[in-house]
Amino acid sequence: MALKIRLARGGAKKRPYYRIVVADARSPRDGRFIDRIGSYDPLKAKDDPARITLDAEKAKEWIAKGAQPTDRVLRFLDAAGVAPRAARNNPAKGQPGKKAQERAAERAAAAAAAAAAAAEAAPAEA
């Protein structure tokens, strides 16, 4: 049985509250879970200690049993010092796409042609 440590949403509409749970990977997000190991309240201030409550010992036990945390929960576990999170690096993420690069090259070529035309016309008038 594949186990996940993930968030289960609760709370009212536009007032989210999440429980950090261990559940079977096949069960629905807010459905049946095996164990509750903490909670996350995104409406609280980032520096509020009650924003994330986590039972680190239970989390370590479940990870030892093979439970895989989701990306968001892994951030919480890393901040608590339970499980290290590998640093991610995607240097190509901020670059424009292929079409945008082509358009930029066309604009640069047009600007260079206009500057050359203006340079030729300026000495002729003088």
pLDDT of 126 over the 60 cut: no
37 and 22 in contact (C-beta within 8 Å)? yes
User: At a CB cut-off of 8 Å and minimum separation 6, what does 6 contact?
Assistant: 20, 21, 23, 29, 69, 70, 73
**pLDDT tens-place string over residues 66-90:** 999 999 999 999 999 988 888 888 8
Question: Which element (helix H / strand E) includes 110?
Answer: helix 98-125
Q: What is the three-class DSSP state of 65? A: coil
Angle of the 71-80 helix axis to the 56-64 helix axis, nearest 10: 120
CATH H-level superfamily of 3-80? Ribosomal protein S16 (3.30.1320.10)
Q: What is the pTM of this model?
A: 0.69
Read off the pLDDT band of 12 (50, 70, 90).
very high
Read off the pLDDT band of 98 (50, 70, 90).
very high
Residue type, 53: T
Mean pLDDT of the region 100-126:
86
